[in-house]
Amino acid sequence: MDISMKGKKIVILTGAGISAESGVKTFRDNDGLWENHRIEDVATPEAWIKDPMLVWRFYQARRNQLLEVEPNPAHLALADLESKAESLTLITQNVDDLHERGGSESVIHMHGQLRTLRCENTHQTEVRMDKKDLGENFVYCNCCSEPSRMRPDIVWFGEIPMEMDKIYQSVEDCDVFIVIGSSGHVYPAAGLVNLANSNGAHSILVNYELPINGSDFDEVHIGKAGEILNNG
């Protein structure tokens, strides 16, 4: 795929598929369950109220997994592209930190991040990845005089994704819109290709299989992201 695209404003949206080659499981490639849980049992505000310890353990496992996985050639290719491109905005639905560890300097995490936790009282976030923050017990904030419990800094189903103004602005304004490794099931991310198309951008998809919104793209590359992004 030729993504040198000199002088073009490029916006890239990544999904779980880009981290698959690093060993992070995707959401919808396995039997409808996410790491043996129904999504509504672990990824909704209602689940956090009903059984916070179940949700906490689930995300602590995901947070601990960050220490075991490494960026793959697809993450590295996007960092390389960022360093060469005149204008590139990288938006990810992923909550891992593999883009940053792969060298990308500016990443919009529209669904939140695993490495940060959010104070339930003030909503301030803190990077909390020390050993003592990664155990079974809840973690308490540093921002309140009487420390408050922190929740995963994740956008759960039913919550509004982060930085949407910035995202809409960059997609409306781009020349090339590229989606990598996303099944196109979750909105508003899945609808960004339509916004890009209606503003005249050239839209490109890189995915292991044709996703539900595959026909919305001008150009489609089927295969593994790590291979396609590194084959020119």
Contacts by residues 33-38 (CB-CB < 8 Å, ≥ 24 positions apart): 35/61
What type of residue sits at position 28?
R
Beta strand 9-14 with 176-180: parallel, antiparallel or unpaired? parallel
Indicate whether 185 belongs to the interface with ligand APR (CB under 6 A): yes
Minimum CB separation of residue 129 from ligand APR in Å reads 20
Burial code of 203-220, b = ≥16 C-beta within 10 A, e = fewer? bbbbbbeebebbebbeeb
Of the listed pieces 51-59, 136-144, 194-202, 205-213, which binds ligand APR according to CB under 6 A?
Answer: 205-213
Active site residues: 111
Indicate whether 113 belongs to the interface with ligand APR (CB under 6 A): no
Indicate whether 22 belongs to the interface with ligand APR (CB under 6 A): no
Minimum CB separation of residue 209 from ligand APR in Å reads 4
Which run of H or of E encompasses 178?
strand 176-180
Minimum CB separation of residue 144 from ligand APR in Å reads 28
Quick one: 26 or 203, whose CB is closer to ligand APR?
A: 26
Q: Please give the residue ranges that form the binding site for ligand APR (CB under 6 A).
A: 15-17, 20-21, 26-29, 93, 111, 181-183, 185-186, 207-209, 211, 224-225
